[in-house]
């Protein structure tokens, strides 16, 4: 067992009242073997959602580093992460012009032998590239999970990130996209599930510098038990990013008196010609919907399950592996079946 | 339009000024001069200790330009308190006249407790209001009057000096302000109005407003602020404490138009009992830096809060405004709606927190904020926080940021308006939901201020 470190992660791009405890999160991680990963220099300085302290920790303790390069116009198809669930991994994707890459990593309870799991993905999407990164986890209740992502998006390139944080003692996740190119696009979808005493902590940031850049950040979650969740979603429109657009939305269903939900959706803007919107909806499930479903013969627990899965399914369906989709459905069903 | 009508001053003849900087001796001196009761003297000294121990905020716009040693905390004008308008000295009167105070009074406003520098110089409550048992007086009189025990019980109870550094400063050096007591069941038909002004160079203003609206009563209180321009950094750290009783309703309207070198670090807070309603209407225009987040604690069941605000930041301004609400009672509801406009390098920040407590079963809250960017030199940030600790609640939030569309300008120009007029019309329309919540004369003033701000050539 290594030394215990407390990392400051998921920093809010601008500070607010300290008593809200939203300016950053503390992530306790044990340092394993000190192996300085060999990171190609082009990936230096890419901002991620979880921030510098996390990146430097992971890069100094990485058990596995993998570099994926797609040449100009190359389609690499779907690349599966065979090491998913190992203690610490770094994935670096350099997608050449007009190339296509989908990287997919699922960490299940069985696959993770330790008590912590960290994944870091950095992406360079060059002009016209299409990159999709999927990180999902259904880890056990004794694992500390952290999923981080950072991308630089070039001219007319598109980056799509999916994070499904469905297990773990605590799950920290973050994503950041630097939209530098003309018409660079970033879409992000997160689903999270809190039960027991799980702590969930998220931070997403988009930095718009290119013209006509677009962003969509969507999060959907359900909180049971005494779970405690913090969600930070920030769009930063930087001077010069004219005609850029950003949409951000979070929907949270609360099922327990003991659960706690904190959300802070930010828009930072010093460019006039932009269009930014965010919305958040937090609360209990619609009573009429519950009544209708129960009147059709569903138990309360089944009705709840249906309501949650109907929100999660569009995201789960994007996972390119039938067995993983089934595992996730089974895991959710087991956790939500309170009858 | 000539902007100078909102930016004028006369020489002050202060009869008493404290040394620059803040020491226990100065606080003792203020206390002695004001003939404080013993508890208040101790309260001031305790607050000073807290002030010296507390750090300035690590968030928000920079406060580097604020040199406390330079700020004279207490300036008393030559005039002792007056009851009749005719006895108020001419230069002070002129200042008020240019601000429209006597006109407003003629329009049947209930009373004027206009504050000139740090002392209430003019104070008048209409007979009909006093006959209803309503007490409207200055804070100093309230400390010694028949409501002294009530004041002692409530003073800085909602906003304790430990709240933040400038609340502590306020506790140490507060001076002037209003005390309003509305007895149970009394409906005050005409709004009570008070106009605060700052005039001496380097003078801080630390007025304290304490309003108690007893069960079933209704009051509309209007606070207006306007101050002339000066070169030395000026500080305003006022404090407003509002107690809304069971089934009572309080509407608190403010137009703040401080001079462009002012640091406005004001704290406002309301506590609402069962079935009570708190309504805020807040317009922030002036000041160099503002930190302003009126807070409402919905303690009682079925209590409600409404907040309507507008912020306009122009050149050299960073206005960090918003609202806070804490839901504690059952079936409580709140609605926050804000507009912000940034122009000529101005910075608007909307900052808020909505907290739904564990026991606030059935709480509902909705937040809506729109930001308008008028050019690319300006900045507008939205920082809304929500903390929900109970499942049986509904919290919604929506924010939008954008510019005036070219199509809208084109349309209005095709109907014969100049581009400037078209832009001014669209901005006025954007501000309309706030303007319609204000009494007529304030809505007119706000529209004038918007026109002044839009007409960049005069600044």
Task: Indicate yes or no: CB of B400 within 8 angstroms of CB of A277.
Answer: yes
Å from B290 to nearest chain A CA? 15
Q: Which of A254, A270, A272 faces B391 most closely, judged by CB atoms?
A: A254
Evaluate whether residue A299 is within a structural domain.
no
Split at pLDDT 50, 70, 90, the class of B46 is very high
pLDDT higher than 60, residue B300: yes
Please say whether the beta carbons of B185 and B216 come within 8 A: yes
Task: Indicate yes or no: CB of A265 within 8 angstroms of CB of B399.
Answer: yes
Task: Indicate yes or no: CB of B400 within 8 angstroms of CB of A276.
Answer: yes
Structure tokens at A54: 């996390």
Split at pLDDT 50, 70, 90, the class of B95 is low
For A253, nearest residue in chain B (alpha carbons): B391
Overall domain count for chain A: 1
Overall domain count for chain B: 2
Evaluate whether residue B46 is within a structural domain.
yes
Task: Indicate yes or no: CB of B376 within 8 angstroms of CB of A274.
Answer: no
- Which domain range does residue B411 map to? 404-459
Per-residue confidence (pLDDT) for residue B74, from 0 to 100: 47
Q: What is the pLDDT of residues B56-78, one digit of tens each?
A: 899 999 988 877 766 654 444 44
Q: What is the pLDDT of residues B163-220, one digit of tens each?
A: 999 999 999 988 888 899 999 999 998 888 775 545 554 455 788 999 999 999 999 9
Q: What is the pLDDT of residues B242-297, one digit of tens each?
A: 999 999 999 999 888 777 778 999 999 999 999 999 999 998 888 899 999 999 99
Per-residue confidence (pLDDT) for residue B79, from 0 to 100: 44
Q: Give the residue with greater pLDDT, A98 vs B458.
A: A98
pLDDT higher than 50, residue B322: yes
- Which domain range does residue A141 map to? 3-285
Contact list, A259 vs chain B (CB under 8 Å): 391
Q: Give the residue with greater pLDDT, B225 vs B306.
A: B306
Q: What is the pLDDT of residues B123-167, one digit of tens each?
A: 555 566 788 899 888 888 899 889 999 999 999 999 999 999 999
Q: Which of A264, A265, A269 faces B380 most closely, judged by CB atoms?
A: A269
Q: Which of A17, A260, A274 faces B353 most closely, judged by CB atoms?
A: A17
Evaluate whether residue A326 is within a structural domain.
no
Q: Which of B59, B388, B399 faces A278 most closely, judged by CB atoms?
A: B399
Which of B292, B318, B340 is where one domain is finished? Answer: B292
Å from A258 to nearest chain B CA? 7
Q: Which of A269, A270, A283 faces B394 most closely, judged by CB atoms?
A: A283
Task: Indicate yes or no: CB of B395 within 8 angstroms of CB of A278.
Answer: no
Residues 6+ apart with CB under 8 A from A266: A12, A13, A14, A232, A233, A234, A235, A278, B381, B382, B383
Please give the interface size between A and B, counted as residue pairs whose CB atoms are below 8 Å apart.
Answer: 137
Split at pLDDT 50, 70, 90, the class of B84 is low
Å from A242 to nearest chain B CA? 9
Please say whether the beta carbons of A181 and A208 come within 8 A: no
Per-residue confidence (pLDDT) for residue A135, from 0 to 100: 96
For A274, nearest residue in chain B (alpha carbons): B402
Mutation to test the B interface, candidates A254, A275, A284, A290, most B Cβ within 10 Å: A254
Q: Give the residue with greater pLDDT, B237 vs B95.
A: B237
pLDDT higher than 60, residue B232: no
Evaluate whether residue A328 is within a structural domain.
no
d(CA A90, CA A58): 7
Per-residue confidence (pLDDT) for residue B209, from 0 to 100: 93
Contact list, B398 vs chain A (CB under 8 Å): 277-280
Per-residue confidence (pLDDT) for residue B325, from 0 to 100: 98
pLDDT higher than 50, residue B431: yes
Counting DSSP H helices and E strands in chain A, the numbers are 4, 18
Mean local confidence (pLDDT), B385-401: 93
Q: What is the pLDDT of residues A77-93, one digit of tens each?
A: 999 988 777 778 899 99
Which of B292, B317, B341 is where one domain is finished? Answer: B292
- Whether ipTM > 0.85 holds is yes
Q: Give me the residues of chain A with pLDDT under 70, please.
A: 1-2, 33-34, 338-339
Evaluate whether residue B337 is within a structural domain.
no
Contact list, B353 vs chain A (CB under 8 Å): 17, 20
Say what the pTM is: 0.89
Evaluate whether residue B148 is within a structural domain.
yes
pLDDT > 90 in chain B, percent: 49
Q: Which helix (H) or strand (E) holds B427?
A: helix B419-435
pLDDT > 70 in chain B, percent: 77
* Helices B38-53, B165-173: inter-axial angle, 10-degree rounding: 150
Å from B199 to nearest chain A CA? 32
d(CA A50, CA A53): 8
Mutation to test the B interface, candidates A206, A260, A270, most B Cβ within 10 Å: A270
d(CA A316, CA A332): 11
Contact list, A277 vs chain B (CB under 8 Å): 398-401
Least confident of A162-176, B92-106, B224-238, B417-431: B92-106
For A268, nearest residue in chain B (alpha carbons): B381
Evaluate whether residue A190 is within a structural domain.
yes
Evaluate whether residue A300 is within a structural domain.
no
Please say whether the beta carbons of A274 and A219 come within 8 A: no
Split at pLDDT 50, 70, 90, the class of B406 is confident
d(CA A29, CA A51): 15
Å from A235 to nearest chain B CA? 10
Please say whether the beta carbons of A137 and A106 come within 8 A: yes
Å from B123 to nearest chain A CA? 38
pLDDT higher than 80, residue B83: no
Contact list, B396 vs chain A (CB under 8 Å): 279-283
| Same domain flag for B105 and B225 | yes
pLDDT higher than 60, residue B17: no
- Around B193, how many Cα atoms within 13 Å sit in the side-chain half-sphere? 25
| Same domain flag for B277 and B412 | no
Which of B265, B292, B319 is where one domain is finished? Answer: B292
Q: Which of A18, A237, A279 faces B397 most closely, judged by CB atoms?
A: A279
Per-residue confidence (pLDDT) for residue B145, from 0 to 100: 87
């Amino acid at each position: 067992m290594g030394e215990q470190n407390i990392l400051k992660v998921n920093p809010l791009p601008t500070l607010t009242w300290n008593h809200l405890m939203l300016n950053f999160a503390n992530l306790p991680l044990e340092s394993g073997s000190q192996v300085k990963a060999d990171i190609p220099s082009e990936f230096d300085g890419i901002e991620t959602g979880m921030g510098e302290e996390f990146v430097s920790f992971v890069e100094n303790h990485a058990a596995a580093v993998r570099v994926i390069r797609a040449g100009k116009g190359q389609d690499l198809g779907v690349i599966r992460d065979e090491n998913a669930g190992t203690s610490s991994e770094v994935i670096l994707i350099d997608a050449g012009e007009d190339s296509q890459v989908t990287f997919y990593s699922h960490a299940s309870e069985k696959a993770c032998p330790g008590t912590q799991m960290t994944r870091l993905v950095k992406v360079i999407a060059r002009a016209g590239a299409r990159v999709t990164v999927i990180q999902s986890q259904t880890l056990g209740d004794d694992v500390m999970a952290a999923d981080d992502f950072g991308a630089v998006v070039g001219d007319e390139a598109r980056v799509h990130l999916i994070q499904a944080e469905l297990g773990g003692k605590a799950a920290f996740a973050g994503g950041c996209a630097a939209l530098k190119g003309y018409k660079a696009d970033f879409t992000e979808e997160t689903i999270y599930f809190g039960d027991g005493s799980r702590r969930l902590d998220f931070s997403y940031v988009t930095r718009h510098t290119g013209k006509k850049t677009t962003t969509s950040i969507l999060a959907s979650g359900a909180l049971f038990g005494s779970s405690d969740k913090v969600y930070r979603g920030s769009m930063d429109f930087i001077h010069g990013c004219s005609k850029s657009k950003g949409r951000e939305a979070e929907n949270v269903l609360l099922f327990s008196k003991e659960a706690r939900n904190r959300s802070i959706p930010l828009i930072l803007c010093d460019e006039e010609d932009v269009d930014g919107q965010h919305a958040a909806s937090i609360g209990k499930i619609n009573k009429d919907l519950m009544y209708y479903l129960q009147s059709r013969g569903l138990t309360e627990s089944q009705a709840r399950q249906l309501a949650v899965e109907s929100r999660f399914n569009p995201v789960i369906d994007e996972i390119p592996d039938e067995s993983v989709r089934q595992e996730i459905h089974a895991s959710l069903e087991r956790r939500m079946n309170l009858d | 339009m000539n902007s100078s009508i909102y930016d004028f001053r006369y020489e002050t003849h202060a009869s008493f000024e404290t040394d620059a900087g803040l020491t226990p001796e100065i606080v003792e001196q203020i206390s002695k001069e004001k003939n404080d009761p013993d508890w208040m003297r101790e309260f001031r000294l305790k607050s000073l200790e807290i002030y010296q121990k507390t750090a300035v905020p690590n968030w928000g716009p920079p406060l580097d330009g604020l040199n406390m040693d330079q700020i004279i905390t207490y300036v008393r004008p030559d005039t002792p308190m007056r009851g009749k308008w005719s006895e108020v000295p001419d230069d002070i009167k002129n200042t008020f006249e240019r601000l429209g105070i006597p006109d407003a009074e003629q329009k049947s406003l209930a009373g004027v407790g206009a504050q000139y520098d740090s002392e209430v110089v003019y104070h008048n409550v209409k007979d009909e209001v006093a006959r209803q048992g309503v007490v409207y007086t200055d804070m100093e009189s309230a400390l010694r009057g028949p409501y002294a025990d009530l004041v002692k019980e409530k003073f800085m109870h909602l906003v304790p000096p430990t709240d933040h550094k400038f609340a502590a400063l306020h506790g140490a050096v507060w001076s002037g302000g209003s005390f309003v007591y509305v007895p149970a069941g009394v409906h005050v038909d005409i709004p009570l109005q008070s106009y605060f002004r700052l005039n001496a160079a380097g003078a801080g203003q630390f007025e304290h407003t304490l309003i108690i609206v007893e069960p079933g009563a209704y009051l509309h209180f209007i606070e207006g602020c306007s101050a002339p321009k000066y070169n030395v950094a000026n500080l305003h750290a006022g404090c407003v404490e509002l107690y809304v009783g069971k089934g009572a309703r309080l509407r608190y309207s403010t137009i703040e138009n401080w001079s462009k070198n002012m640091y406005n670090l004001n704290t406002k807070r309301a506590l609402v009992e069962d079935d009570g309603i708190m309504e805020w209407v807040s317009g922030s225009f002036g000041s160099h830096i503002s930190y302003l987040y009126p807070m409402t604690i919905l303690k009682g069941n079925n209590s409600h809060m409404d907040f309507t605000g507008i912020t306009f930041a122009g050149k050299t301004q960073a206005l960090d405004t918003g609202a806070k609400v804490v839901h504690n009672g059952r079936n409580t509801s709140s609605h926050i709606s804000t507009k912000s406009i940034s122009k000529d390098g101005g910075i608007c920040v909307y900052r808020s927190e909505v907290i739904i407590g564990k026991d606030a079963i059935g709480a509902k809250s909705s937040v809506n904020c729109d930001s308008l960017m008028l050019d690319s030199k300006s900045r507008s940030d939205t920082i809304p926080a929500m903390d929900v600790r109970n499942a049986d609640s509904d919290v919604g939030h929506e924010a939008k940021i954008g510019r005036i569309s070219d199509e809208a300008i084109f349309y209005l120009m095709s109907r014969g308006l100049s581009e400037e007029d078209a832009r001014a019309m669209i901005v006025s329309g954007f501000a309309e939901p706030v303007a319609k919540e204000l009494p007529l004369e304030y809505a007119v003033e706000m529209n004038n201020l918007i026109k002044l701000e839009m007409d960049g050539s005069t600044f």
